[in-house]
Amino acid sequence: MRTRHRIAAIAAAVAALTAATITPAAAYDGYDQDCGNGGKFALTNGTLCVDIAGQPDQYGTIGVGYWRNGGTTYIDVSLGYLANGRTYWHPDGYITLAPGQSTTGTKRFNSWLNSSCVQGVMLVHNTSITYITGKAGPGCEN
């Protein structure tokens, strides 16, 4: 009798776990955004964001921006995005943020969108450290 109860309890637990792990991600509705602290190298003085607007297999817009909330030095940064294993840098080159200057603004890229994820990328020139955001796009599981 106890064995049957154990089997029933295990079956119920497996069913609950399976239902929880198979829940589908929210559908992509033409816009997605993710902000992060830089992934492997944590940003201590700001937030790096990426957003994507448009439908797969059409031209759309990818935006990348950095919002600084501290720091007392000048920094030179370049913004770009990572998609399909390749980094695309914004053609404006680097941006200098002075002490007290809080944002790069959002740098926009008009790009052909596929159904993958994109990640925002920021290179800090005086350190050669590259920061990467989370993921945005129709193929992401945010």
Sheet arrangement for strand 58-68: 31-36, 46-53, 58-68, 103-113
Of all helices (H) and strands (E), which one includes residue 15? helix 2-21
**Of the segments 58-62, 94-98, 102-106, 115-119, which one has the largest average pLDDT value?**
58-62
Q: What does pLDDT average to over the chain?
A: 76
pTM of the model: 0.73
70 phi and psi angles, rounded to 5 deg:
-175, -175
Domains with residue ranges and CATH for the chain: 27-136 (2.60.40)
Quickly state the pLDDT bin for 24 (edges 50, 70, 90).
very low
